[in-house]
Amino acid sequence: MSKIAKTVYYMNQFFAGIGGEDKADQPPIAFEGAQGPAKLFAEMLGDKGTVVRTVVCGDNYFAEHQEEAIRDLLAMVKEAEPDIFIAGPAFGSGRHGMACAALSSAVAREMGIPAVTAMHPENPGVDMLKPPAYALPAEISAGTMKEVLTRMCAFALKLHAGEPIGPSREEGYLPRGLRLNRIDPLTSAERAVNLLWAKLEGRPYETEIPLPKHIDVAPPPPVEVSKARLGLVTEAGVVPMGNPDNLESWWATHWYSYSIDGLDGLTNETHCTVHAGFENTFMNEDPDRGVPLDMARELEKEGKIGKLADFYLVTTGMMMTTDNAQRIGREMAAHLKKEGIEAVILTST
Amino acid sequence: MPELTINTFPVNKLEFSDKTVYNDGCLSINNVELREMLLKEEGIRDVLINIARPGDSTRIVHVWDVIEPRTKTAGPGVIFPGWLGPPIGYGEGVIHRLSGMAVVTCTEFNSEGDKYTEQGEGIIDMSGPIAEMTPFSKINNLVIEFILDKKMNLDEQNKVVTRAGLKAAKYLADATVGKPAEKSEVRSIDKATPGLPNVVMIMVIAGSSPLLDTYVYGFSCVGIMPTFIHPNEMAEGALVACTGMVASPANTTYDFQNNPLIEKLYQHHGVRHNLAGVIIERGYAYEYNDKERLSAHAANLARFVKADGAIITSDSGGNIMVETMLACRECEKRGIKTALVLVEACGKDGTGLGLVDYVREADLIISVGNADAAINLPKMDTVYGGKNYIGTNLPGNFACDRILMDICGANSMLGTSRVRADDF
């Protein structure tokens, strides 16, 4: 491999020299050859590559017309038949970062060529960067342009040459939410004891499994239960008999809403569970054990709770990945809010 | 306190013969005699014995446990107390071990009476790309497949196969009686060196139901409070595995006997730290506040022996991670610095969040890899331990797409494996 790396380079309206905030509405436009920082990048490529086209879009235009912007920019990129794609660097600029990340991800995925961008590790664009694209870390300020471009150039050429790429902490790119197994020279026993010694002896240490960034969910303010519109939500896999929508028994990726309008309880003739994580006999005997409709109706009649929603929401919580759980939770919450539900009882098994 | 001497007899060759004899690294096994001995066990209808050597084009399926052959030659008590004799452990005397080999017990459990509990696959490939991921591909394995009497419940079946496997392990190790050991080691952690940090190990072990449990001197650990267990008691077989739902992150008896974390902690005892104790904590408690109770108590035991640091391990995965994280939190709250050794559950493609649960205090976690990772098992010439992949009609030596969780030992949290997940 290692033929000349034909490069297409993306940047926003500011770096392209079109204008500042006043030109953030710039629709996608292509220039032949290198513009703005792509010129310095081209020098760094030397005889290993050329910048054949620079594609540009205003930060606001991209944010407000993301689908069309990506579609139009992708066409401009494809037309130039590049071997590698470079975007940014976006430094601390959020909109530029998101555009660089979204476009790099689309190019890498659809064209199968190396796509490299760079931005500050806290740039909101980082979460939007998807493999097989890469983002390198950068400072907040654009004053470090030359240093970042040097790294981007070296890394892009490495990808272009088909060299194997190691983990992010060895190669210097930002983690992409992708954890892959490999064989370490040391056993986990050796690494664990070495790292504990470092922690005990006051030397620096680094975790091998970083905790998720956003751990805390602030609880919303309490509701007046006797007046609230209340919903029932469960992960117990309780569905109408026959499982009409084929809710999965484990590794679930779906959730469903089922009517309880006019029902005073769920019975072993009307409902059942499909959950693979517990002995189903007891739940099937009385599905109110998973969705406490019978008790909720009593409390509703006694005025102890406000009106019950006329549906309940269900998924199956066995071996559900955390990402799916978070997505399903968000989707359920949006649906509940739309229906005017203020609080839910969430049953787990 | 009395000491334990461990005499090691390495095995680099396993063969069948008309007499069970150990000589100079070669273990000859009278497989006819061994089979007859095992057939006498109540509940066993048939026994198939095979040898799987490193590099063989052989796959072992339906693995229940991996056991290092050991026997006790001097001192009070027996090897594998609670199974081959009274459940009275001493952790002293002399034991012999056959290193470089294992007894691998295999069976297909009949779960009809317990329909909520399903046996998962347990696989060891002796060669090929997956062999690299399990420590058990690098030792000589005596594979014993048990065909069981179908009339027993799952708990009884577990115990029949476990007892038979341990009996076989002792039978093999008995061949070393009277022979000179290649290595003889006296194990003791009595003398502490003042001025060094005290380190404990907190092992959170599975304790839930048949196929997901740990035997402590022959009894299920469900319901026990965290307690101290001496490394020498573990060497004698105080802890025996009982996990058949998942393979790669489950602790095997071999892991308990040859716990690499304890080995390393022991090696540097009195030199870089003092190994102040090993604590076992039952995981998979059914209620959250029980998990808190157990983990806080484990941390209190650690504090009782003045621990400055704790290595915390887990078993099998799932809600046991709650206990494991709580143990971390409670230790850190008591000023005990922690390092966790954990398996990740990032999904088949590695994009999922790996930690089932976490606490803010868990700032040092060592990875033993993503157990969910998709793998391709290549075709092998031979399959031992069973015929087809569990629950399928596909012969076990055929190529198959699986996940790493099926591979025994690949994500062991007691330190054997070199598999590790990293950010890519």
Q: What is the DSSP string of A239-297?
A: EETT-TT---SSS----EEEE-TT-S---TTTEEE--TTS--HHHHH-GGGTS-HHHHH
Q: What is the mean pLDDT of residues B342-369?
A: 94
Q: How far apart are CA B15 and CA B13, in angstroms?
A: 7
What confidence tier does A219 reach under pLDDT thresholds 50, 70, 90? Answer: confident
**Beta-carbon count within 10 A of B398 CB:** 15
Check residue B111 and give its pLDDT: 73
Check residue B116 and give its pLDDT: 57
- Chain B residue numbers with beta carbons less than 8 Å from the beta carbon of A186 are 418
Check residue A247 and give its pLDDT: 96
Largest CA distance in chain A: 82
Q: How far apart are CA B226 and CA B340, in angstroms?
A: 17
Quote the percentage of chain B above a pLDDT of 70.
99
Check residue B372 and give its pLDDT: 96
Residue A92 has pLDDT above 70, yes or no: yes
Q: Which of B172, B154, B158 is nearest to B83 (CA)?
A: B158
What confidence tier does A322 reach under pLDDT thresholds 50, 70, 90? Answer: confident
Q: What is the mean pLDDT of residues A32-46?
A: 96
- In chain B, residues 139-198 whose CB comes closer than 8 Å to chain A: 197
Residue B113 has pLDDT above 70, yes or no: no
- In chain A, residues 90-119 whose CB comes closer than 8 Å to chain B: none
User: Chain A residue with minimal CA distance to B318?
Assistant: A319
Say how many residues make up chain B.
424
Check residue A214 and give its pLDDT: 66
Q: Does B375 touch chain A (CB under 8 A)?
A: no
> DSSP alpha helices (H): ranges in chain A?
37-45, 59-64, 66-79, 94-111, 145-160, 168-171, 188-200, 281-285, 293-301, 322-338
User: Chain B residue with minimal CA distance to A251?
Assistant: B347
Residue A215 has pLDDT above 70, yes or no: no
CB-CB contact of A297 with A264 (8 Å): yes
Q: Which of A1-10, A233-242, B387-396 has the lowest mean pLDDT?
A: A1-10
Q: Alpha-carbon dihedral of residues B154, B155, B158, B160, nearest 10 degrees?
A: -110
**Average per-residue pLDDT for chain A:** 94
Q: Which of B75, B124, B2 is nearest to B382 (CA)?
A: B124
Interface-testing mutation among A209, A216, A323, A328, with chain B (most B C-beta atoms within 10 A) = A209
Are B308 and A200 an interchain contact pair (Cβ–Cβ within 8 Å)?
yes
Backbone angles phi, psi at B44, to 5 degrees: -105, 125
ipTM of the complex: 0.96
Residue A102 has pLDDT above 70, yes or no: yes
Q: Does A215 touch chain B (CB under 8 A)?
A: yes
Residue pairs between chains A and B whose CB atoms are closer than 8 Å = 166
Q: Does B129 touch chain A (CB under 8 A)?
A: no
Quote the percentage of chain A above a pLDDT of 90.
87
Check residue A243 and give its pLDDT: 96
What confidence tier does B115 reach under pLDDT thresholds 50, 70, 90? Answer: low
User: Chain A residue with minimal CA distance to B416?
Assistant: A187
Q: Which of B284, B353, B360, B349 is nearest to B322 (CA)?
A: B284
Are A189 and B420 an interchain contact pair (Cβ–Cβ within 8 Å)?
no
Residue A1 has pLDDT above 80, yes or no: no
Q: What is the mean pLDDT of residues B362-383?
A: 98
What confidence tier does A327 reach under pLDDT thresholds 50, 70, 90? Answer: confident
pTM: 0.86
CB-CB contact of B253 with B66 (8 Å): yes
Q: How far apart are CA A307 and CA A298, in angstroms?
A: 11
Sign of the torsion formed by the C-alpha atoms of B173, B178, B182 and B184: positive
Quote the percentage of chain B above a pLDDT of 90.
93
- Chain A residue numbers with beta carbons less than 8 Å from the beta carbon of B353 are 212, 321-323
The residue with greater pLDDT, B326 or B356, is B326
Q: What is the mean pLDDT of residues B197-220?
A: 96
Residue A319 has pLDDT above 90, yes or no: no
Are B373 and A192 an interchain contact pair (Cβ–Cβ within 8 Å)?
no
What confidence tier does B319 reach under pLDDT thresholds 50, 70, 90? Answer: very high
Are B344 and A321 an interchain contact pair (Cβ–Cβ within 8 Å)?
no
Q: Rounded to a whole number, what is the distance in angstroms from the first to the last CA of chain B?
A: 50
Residue A155 has pLDDT above 60, yes or no: yes
Check residue B114 and give its pLDDT: 59
Express each pLDDT in B232-288 by its tens digit. Answer: 999 999 999 999 999 999 999 999 999 999 999 999 999 999 999 999 999 999 999
The residue with greater pLDDT, B298 or B209, is B298
Q: How far apart are CA B51 and CA B2, in angstroms?
A: 38
Residue A174 has pLDDT above 60, yes or no: yes
Are B339 and A192 an interchain contact pair (Cβ–Cβ within 8 Å)?
yes
Q: Does A348 touch chain B (CB under 8 A)?
A: no
Quote the percentage of chain A above a pLDDT of 70.
99
Express each pLDDT in B4-52 by its tens digit. Answer: 999 999 999 999 999 999 999 999 999 999 999 999 999 999 999 999 9
CB-CB contact of A59 with A23 (8 Å): no
Q: Which of B98, B96, B102 is nearest to B6 (CA)?
A: B96
Q: What are the residues whose beta carbons fall under 8 Å from the beta carbon of A245, sequence distance 6 or more?
A: A239, A254, A256
Q: How far apart are CA B265 and CA B16, in angstroms?
A: 38
Q: How far apart are CA B381 and CA B402, in angstroms?
A: 18
Query: Which of A205, A209, A280 shows the shortest C-beta gap to B354?
Result: A209
Q: How far apart are CA A229 and CA A79, in angstroms?
A: 56
Are A179 and B350 an interchain contact pair (Cβ–Cβ within 8 Å)?
yes
> DSSP alpha helices (H): ranges in B78-119?
none
Q: What is the mean pLDDT of residues A176-200?
A: 96
Q: What is the mean pLDDT of residues B117-131?
A: 93
Residue B348 has pLDDT above 70, yes or no: yes
Check residue A100 and give its pLDDT: 98
Q: How far apart are CA B96 and CA B257, in angstroms?
A: 12
- Chain A residue numbers with beta carbons less than 8 Å from the beta carbon of B308 are 200
Query: Which of B341, B358, B423 shows the shortest C-beta gap to A192?
Result: B341
Are B366 and A195 an interchain contact pair (Cβ–Cβ within 8 Å)?
yes
- Min distance B22 CA to chain A CA atoms (Å): 30
Beta-bridge mates of residue B279: B202, B228
- In chain B, residues 205-264 whose CB comes closer than 8 Å to chain A: 260-261, 263-264
- Chain A residue numbers with beta carbons less than 8 Å from the beta carbon of B260 are 187, 189
Query: Which of B261, B341, B364 shows the shortest C-beta gap to A199?
Result: B364
Check residue A139 and give its pLDDT: 94
